[in-house]
């Protein structure tokens, strides 16, 4: 059985983590499949939104803690290379040109939380629980959690959550601003698809440009960002989608975007 299931329909690509018996803990085959799918779907003009979902009662438990009890014959350099390889997943999610949506039920822990934080939106079922409990097993944060969490919930709360490793529930996630929407468990799939369809039908090039601007804003000074935005805007004005949107506005009709 594949560790990742891919389904594409109506411009929406759904990637389902599929190790339910292990609470969808990350595996090498899952990481490899995620990297290949995110690269390919990010370049596919027929895909406008990517949903990261999960089978069973959990989103992702993070790393496989049970496997950590086994002796590891790898050298420190081999271990480092492996972590760097895995870190290509949060980087791929954070830099993906398509709108990404995490559809979360049950636990989202450690690296699972990291993947969710790297998505543009997080639709959260009431059964969801979150935690960056690295400290509880004597480890430090990875999968980009120490970058993303402070930017979403604020540095003081992130510091508390990371240093205590405390678990927080869906209602707390909503109060912290981590949950884009909080929904009943039985409504999660439908709500996720509604969000994904909305963005799949939108101006894909504009989405990609806005995401590039947001990413640039995290590392650039204000004056440098203004110049970057100016260049991005000139590119956007030359697109078919911009011209279509203008004509649709003047004609008082819905725009039909073509992703070009």
Query: What is the Cα–Cα distance from 233 to 172, expressed in whole angstroms?
Result: 37
Range of the domain at 172: 4-200
pLDDT digits over 167-221, tens only? 999 999 999 999 999 999 999 999 999 999 999 999 999 999 999 999 999 999 9
Distance CA 224, CA 247 (A): 32
The confidence score (pLDDT) of residue 230 equals 96
Residue 258: inside a domain, yes or no? no
* Contacts for 159-163: CB closer than 8 Å, 24+ residues apart: 161/131, 161/132, 162/132, 162/134, 162/135, 163/135
Residues 162 and 237 reside in one and the same domain: no
Q: Which residue has the tokens 């090498």?
A: 28
Asked if 164 and 186 sit in the same domain, the reply is yes
Residue 125 lies in a domain: yes
Measured between alpha carbons, how far apart are the two ends of the chain, in Å? Answer: 38
Return the CATH number at 79.
3.90.226.10
Region 85-111: mean pLDDT is 97
Tell whether 155 is covered by a domain. Answer: yes
In terms of pLDDT, which residue wins out, 78 or 1? 78
Overall number of domains in the chain: 2
Residue 256 located in a structural domain: no
- Residue 232 in any domain: the answer is yes
Q: What is the mean pLDDT of residues 223-244?
A: 93
Same domain, yes or no: 167 and 244: no
Q: How many helices (H) and strands (E) does the chain have?
A: 11, 9
Q: Residues of the chain with pLDDT > 70: what percent?
A: 99
- At 149-163, the pLDDT tens digits run 999 999 999 999 999
């Amino acid at each position: 059985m594949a560790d990742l299931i891919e389904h594409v329909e109506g411009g929406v690509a759904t990637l389902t983590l599929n190790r339910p018996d292990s609470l969808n803990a990350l595996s090498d085959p899952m990481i490899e499949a995620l990297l290949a799918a995110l690269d390919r779907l990010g370049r596919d003009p027929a895909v406008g939104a990517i949903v990261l979902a999960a089978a069973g009662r959990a989103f992702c438990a993070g790393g496989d803690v049970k496997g950590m009890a086994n002796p590891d014959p790898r050298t420190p350099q081999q271990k480092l290379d492996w972590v760097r390889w895995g870190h290509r997943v949060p980087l791929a999610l954070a830099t993906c040109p398509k709108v990404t949506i995490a559809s979360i039920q049950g636990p989202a822990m450690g690296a699972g939380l990291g993947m969710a934080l790297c998505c543009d939106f997080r639709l959260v079922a009431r059964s969801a629980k979150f935690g960056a409990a690295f400290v509880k097993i004597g480890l430090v944060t990875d999968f980009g959690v120490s970058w993303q969490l402070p930017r979403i919930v604020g540095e003081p709360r992130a510091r508390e959550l990371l240093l205590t490793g405390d678990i927080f529930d869906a209602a707390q996630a909503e109060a912290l601003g981590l949950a884009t929407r909080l929904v009943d468990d039985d409504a999660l799939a439908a709500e996720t698809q509604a969000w994904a369809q909305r963005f799949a039908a939108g101006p894909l090039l504009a989405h990609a440009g806005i995401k590039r601007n947001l990413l640039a804003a995290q590392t650039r000074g204000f004056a440098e960002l203004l110049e970057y935005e100016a260049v991005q805007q000139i590119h956007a004005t030359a697109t078919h989608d911009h011209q279509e949107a203008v004509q649709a506005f003047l004609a008082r009709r819905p725009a039909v975007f073509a992703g070009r």
